Structure 1
Amino acid sequence: MRAAEEREARMALGTLVEPGSRELGLLVRSVGAPEALARAVGGFGISPGLAGAVQARLRIAGVDGSADVGAELAEQMGELAERLGARIITAADEEWPAVLDDLVRASREGNMLRRDTDPPMCVWLRGPLRLAETLKRSVAVVGARAVTGYGGYVASEFGYGLAECGWTVVSGGALGVDVTAHRGALAGGGATVAVMACGIDKAYPAANTAVLEQIGDEGLLLTEWPPGTQPHKTRFLTRNRVIAAATRGTVMVEAGSRSGARNTLGYARLLQRSAMVVPGPINSPMSVGCHVELRQPGTVLVTRVEEIVEEIGSVGELATPIQGAGRPEDVLDALQARILDAVRPRKATTAEQIAAVAGVSGRDARRNLPLLEELGFVLSGPDGYRLSSPPRGPIGEEEER
């Protein structure tokens, strides 16, 4: 019974109080959700600001404060969720991801947005996947709405590649980098979660309606706000803390100097998640924020999916080092390469002359020039050796034929 009361109270508080409230979070952790709800509805033991906000929401919900508010609101929300094909989970449910509780550490001194970063009271979900399980191997891919061709390419490749590697791609469903990463993950046959800043019944932005519907059918749509809630500027910043907390790390693909993606990356650092950034052209306004963040201690520069997985994956999930294209002369040791450098391209010279130019002994030149000829790097004649054009190929090629 207590678990049911706790769940109902959290659902009610999630409706009556704007997400992230530090005051409410401290109260719930101190006295439990049912008692916190009673105080919030009764207006005692809380600040006048919080009490007034709760009363305003109660009036809109048409709920009598003297009634069993928790049960009444929970029933309303449950019926609404059923009509919308959604579900509601709280910290009292098995599906709840414990990583969201880390948000108790994200509160900072300063204005309301910096202070009010507490874990959600409840979240609304639409989609077939189980939230806690889906987030076990997840990474956030965020960035600018005004994405460039470069940023779009990177976000798509990252979304697709991470999905192929079995990682869930989490983003905000917005225009630009967000929706491109979601599309990449869907194309890669992987899981993706869109964390929304509005009600579960709102497809925002409208241009992304088709993608958001597909995510709701194949992945997960997630929001802290009840149905009917409109997206506001501050709500985007508030939801960013959930994106950062839900994942093992955040990758910022493109970001202007005032991009909200930097806000998400900041939460990742506060929560001791990996903060990863993709560099861009130094003259691109859409990469200014990336380059500023790359100067922050602990930020990891990433350019490939393998590097992301190496940063946030298990021990041994290492990225293959990037190497330049192989050249035929790569098979030579240092002495052989030095001798080859001294061979002239057109005029034949003797082994002794080549040795003098290379600065090696005549014996070393006489021993290695026949091998260089066998490998196809030089040709011999009556007057000595000259470079062949082109060489036949790397060592071992003849043996493989």
Structure 2
Amino acid sequence: MTRLLELDNRELHRILAPVTPPALGVDLSDATGLTNRFATAALSTLVEPGDTDAALVIATLGASTALTAIVERWATDRILRTVAEIDEGAAAVLGGRSRARGPRDVAPPTEEVGPVTRLDEALERWLPRLSLRASVRSLEAAANVGAVFVIPDDELWPTGFGDLGEGAPIGLWVRGRVESLTACDRSIALVGARAATGYGEHVAMESAAGLADRGFAVVSGGAYGIDGAAHRAALASDQTTIAFLAGGVDRLYPAGHTALLTRIAEHGLLVGELPCGSSPTKWRFLQRNRLIAAASRATVVVEAGRRSGSLNTAGHAAAIGRPLGAVPGPVTSPASAGCHRLIQEYGAACVTSAAEMAELTGIAEPLGDVAGAGSVDGVRLRVLDALSPRTPRTVREVATRAGMSERDAISTLGLLDVESLASEREAGWIKAPPQRER
């Protein structure tokens, strides 16, 4: 594979190291891993978000072999035979007749040809974009803005994306504090109309602040209206907020939110499926919404008219079984008609406070109410027991002592930090002294 790409391991390391920080737990000396990571990044420049054909090929063959097949222009039959050797079911799906087209009409009438398969059509989509140089430039552009490339094999990959099945992203471009990806395990998506009313923005800000007080990260789409209000309130509350973008993480859209999105990149996360330089489109916005729904433990529509794009996010949440809530508004307000419809026709829970939104997740209530170690749940108590009040310990040491993964340890330490039960020092984490009552 490296010969095919005309990149040796040293060159791959040079390209990938800036976008693969230690927090991902990646062994950059692993040649196979480097090739797989580069192949996944390259494939992300070829396919549109939510391309289930690409996901199926990659899941079956692996990113390296999938890219090899595309670069070397393997015949459809060869790819299908290779897939069938591993998964006959996947080969049957990819070899099935295209849903959009009938028999081939490009060959002379005397030549016998079969129907156009899904794989034929997929290759027609991917090949015009094939440029390994462009793939390298995407990685270099990401490094220039401090972005990171994350793949499903990485420790920090949000587990919620597994519920998307073949619709899961093949990789993510992340700009900001990459460790904050663990916050997805305790997050709620607040979404709504861009043309929000004063009522809607007020509720969004109050809800985001209340959720932040309870230790929840706030997920949204970085847009005007409800999204922006939720992000601002989370930032003001010094809580993690994550904005999923429809384009590259270097393309801050909308332009009027450049300052806000820059702050999110500094204190939270900007996340996208597309490489740097990619522009947002209507289709990409719709596909972006599935990530918002899947990354979060629950989705709440704060304010939405009957045709609001946030209803698409609600649909994705419902489709993968995520809890769905909607905030009621004045019955005379068209801006809340979409929320009322979600409650009446789609079984969304009627939520009116941050406490009710938090209940949707099934996560035990408010971290802010924790008075001390005696009221801490089992997981957090294990991490507290692994800490010393005097000797700083690294995340790995804490995880080993607590008997859990480093990912769970990072997440729990963050929550304990919010509760002032633990604090991070230069050399590691320590148990915070108990707060004296005043």
For the criterion TM > 0.5, the same-fold answer is yes
- 1:231 Cα deviation (Å)? 1.2
Counterpart pick for 2:75 among 26, 44, 57: 44
**Equivalence for 2:144:** 83
Question: Structure 1 CA distance, aligned partners of 2:266 and 2:364?
Answer: 33
Counterpart pick for 2:161 among 97, 100, 120: 100
Q: Which amino acid aligns with 2:129?
A: R
Give % identity.
43
**Equivalence for 2:290:** 241
**Deviation larger for 39-48 or 216-225:** 39-48
- 1:4 Cα deviation (Å)? 2.7
What are the ranges of 5 or more consecutive residues in structure 2 without an aligned counterpart?
1-30, 77-117, 370-438
CA-to-partner distance for each residue in 1:358-392, whole Å, 9 max, x for gaps? Answer: xxxxxxxxxxxxxxxxxxxxxxxxxxxxxxxxxxx
**Equivalence for 1:393:** none
Question: Structure 1 CA distance, aligned partners of 2:48 and 2:75?
Answer: 18
- 1:312 Cα deviation (Å)? 0.9
Say if 2:186 is the partner of 1:137. yes
- 1:219 Cα deviation (Å)? 0.4
CA-to-partner distance for each residue in 1:177-228, whole Å, 9 max, x for gaps? Answer: 0001000111111110000011111111111111100000000001111111
Inter-CA distance 92–316: structure 2 relative to 1 (3 Å threshold): closer
1:123-272 alignment, distance < 5 Å: 123-272=172-321
- Residue 325 of structure 2 aligns to a residue whose secondary structure is strand
Q: Is the 8 A contact 1:162 1:305 kept in 2?
A: yes
CA-to-partner distance for each residue in 1:117-176, whole Å, 9 max, x for gaps? Answer: x11111111112414312111010000000001101001111111112111000000000
Inter-CA distance 89–18: structure 2 relative to 1 (3 Å threshold): same
CA-to-partner distance for each residue in 1:77-105, whole Å, 9 max, x for gaps? Answer: 33221111111111122221121122117
- 1:243 Cα deviation (Å)? 0.2
Say if 2:153 is the partner of 1:122. no
- Residue 126 of structure 1 aligns to a residue whose secondary structure is strand
Inter-CA distance 134–74: structure 2 relative to 1 (3 Å threshold): farther
Inter-CA distance 188–83: structure 2 relative to 1 (3 Å threshold): same
**Equivalence for 1:326:** none
CA-to-partner distance for each residue in 1:58-91, whole Å, 9 max, x for gaps? Answer: 2xxxx3xxxxx4xx66543332211111111111
- 1:33 Cα deviation (Å)? 1.8
Inter-CA distance 287–94: structure 2 relative to 1 (3 Å threshold): same
What are the ranges of 5 or more consecutive residues in structure 1 without an aligned counterpart?
64-68, 106-117, 321-401
Q: Is the 8 A contact 2:45 2:135 kept in 1?
A: no
Inter-CA distance 104–75: structure 2 relative to 1 (3 Å threshold): same
- Residue 136 of structure 1 aligns to a residue whose secondary structure is helix
Inter-CA distance 190–317: structure 2 relative to 1 (3 Å threshold): closer
Question: Structure 2 CA distance, aligned partners of 1:43 and 1:21?
Answer: 20
Inter-CA distance 9–29: structure 2 relative to 1 (3 Å threshold): same
Q: Which amino acid aligns with 1:78?
A: L
- Residue 25 of structure 1 aligns to a residue whose secondary structure is helix
CA-to-partner distance for each residue in 1:212-270, whole Å, 9 max, x for gaps? Answer: 00000000001111111111111110100000000000000111111111110111111
Counterpart pick for 1:275 among 314, 320, 324: 324
**Deviation larger for 168-177 or 224-233:** 224-233
**Equivalence for 1:19:** 49
- 1:55 Cα deviation (Å)? 2.1
Question: Structure 2 CA distance, aligned partners of 1:273 and 1:194?
Answer: 19
**Equivalence for 1:288:** 337
- 1:39 Cα deviation (Å)? 2.7
- Residue 234 of structure 1 aligns to a residue whose secondary structure is helix
Aligned residues: 296
Pair member with larger Rg: 1
Inter-CA distance 43–153: structure 2 relative to 1 (3 Å threshold): farther
What's the TM-score, normalizing by structure 2?
Answer: 0.64
Question: Structure 2 CA distance, aligned partners of 1:255 and 1:44?
Answer: 48
Question: Structure 2 CA distance, aligned partners of 1:226 and 1:241?
Answer: 18
Counterpart pick for 1:56 among 128, 147, 164: 128
**Deviation larger for 180-189 or 307-316:** 307-316
Q: Which amino acid aligns with 1:3?
A: G
CA-to-partner distance for each residue in 1:261-304, whole Å, 9 max, x for gaps? Answer: 11101111111111000011111111111111102354211000
Question: Structure 1 CA distance, aligned partners of 2:220 and 2:69?
Answer: 35
Say if 2:45 is the partner of 1:2. no
